[in-house]
Amino acid sequence: MPEPEVLTDLDVAGTDRYVMRKLPEVTLAFWVMKTAATTLGETAGDLFAQTLKLGYFLTTIALFLIFVVTLVVQLRSRRYNPFFYWTVILSTSMAGTTMSDFMNRDASAKFLTDGAKSLGWGPQGLGLGYPTGAAILISLLVVIFVIWKCTGLTFAIRDIVSFRAEALFWAAILVSNTLGTSMGDFLSDSSGLGYAGGALLVTGVLAVLVCLMRVPAVPNVVLFWIAFVLTRPLGATAGDFLTKPLAKGGLDLGTAGSSAVLLAILVGLMGYAHVQERRTAVPQDTSLTGVS
């Protein structure tokens, strides 16, 4: 009797016919939800760290633990669930916001508000600065992609269906969201462009990437990851524009109010995505898995 076929991670990653997909299709709705989630991640991270004065140290620990919990739920899920997936995206955005702030900032007066001399319990920040922090994060992201490449697993999001590939995907997401926060804060605070100028610059670069999708020599997978990183500074600058004082070029809507509105929008989009997913879901054909 012939032995049952055993599929390796490489086999599974090479085709989505064998198992349920775990990640969403990349459409316009995907990028709208990504931008909403990253903007909420910026305002919510600032809400906990700055408005509630928990500080970057405690907030980073708490939000990283939330990320781990949401990630476990996502990894244990057997198929794509919009609520699970976008909750992890949101948790990486919130954790990335405070991780970036902790790396780049310190107790200097320019990072504190209302004459405060400290921000929460524990270290106030490493004070590495945006260029150094970005260099470290870029190096980490390159290491993740090198490891990912060495495994032979696919970089294409629609074909990521194995546990190892998904774990690498989420590691890259966490680092890219942290990197994107550093880029957004640099554009808003240090480049002289301001919040609106930074958002316009990132939007312009994203428009160029859309045009490059029609160039056969440029892999769409590369464009996806560049766009994924860049939508984070877009969300960061948009979040700062909503929450910062009028004197600094913001709308002064506050972190709490902005976060509540953005959360309602994101939940509504997740609900819509869930309805669409149920309409298009195809039952899994277990006969193709080689398991009897």
* Full 3-state SS string of 81-136: CHHHHHHHHHHHHHHHHHHHHHHHCCCCHHHCCCCCCCCCCCCCCCCCCHHHHHHH
Regarding pTM above 0.85, the answer is no
CB 190 within 8 A of CB 130: yes
CA 246, 31, 56, 87 dihedral sign is positive
114 burial class (0-12, 13-18, 19+ CB within 10 angstroms)?
exposed
Phi-psi region of 191 (alpha: psi -120 to 50; beta: other; left: phi over 0): alpha
CA 30, 35, 38, 44 dihedral sign is negative
At 10, is the secondary structure helix, strand, or coil?
helix
At 215, is the secondary structure helix, strand, or coil?
coil
- Report d(CA 87, CA 91) in Å as an integer: 6
pLDDT in tens, the chain (292 residues): 444 333 334 333 343 333 457 788 778 888 888 888 888 888 888 888 888 888 888 999 999 999 999 999 999 888 888 899 999 999 999 999 899 988 988 766 566 555 556 666 667 788 888 888 888 999 999 999 999 999 998 888 778 888 899 999 999 999 988 988 888 778 777 777 777 777 788 889 889 998 998 888 888 888 888 888 888 778 777 777 787 777 766 777 888 888 888 899 889 988 888 888 777 764 444 333 333 3
- Report d(CA 212, CA 165) in Å as an integer: 26
Quick one: pLDDT at residue 290?
38
CA 280, 286, 287, 288 dihedral sign is positive
- Report d(CA 65, CA 49) in Å as an integer: 15
Quick one: pLDDT at residue 110?
60
Quick one: pLDDT at residue 151?
92
DSSP one-letter code for 27 = S
CB 103 within 8 A of CB 136: yes
CB 195 within 8 A of CB 241: yes
CB 174 within 8 A of CB 94: no
Q: Which two tokens stand for residue 147?
A: 């490891």
Quick one: pLDDT at residue 276?
80
Quick one: pLDDT at residue 143?
95
CB 23 within 8 A of CB 263: no
Quick one: pLDDT at residue 285?
42
Quick one: pLDDT at residue 12?
37
Torsion of CA 174, 177, 182, 186, to 10 degrees: 170
Strands annotated E in the chain: none
Quick one: pLDDT at residue 253?
80
Torsion of CA 169, 173, 175, 177, to 10 degrees: 170
Q: Which of 33, 24, 44 is nearest to 254 (CA)?
A: 44
- Report d(CA 50, CA 52) in Å as an integer: 6
Quick one: pLDDT at residue 108?
63
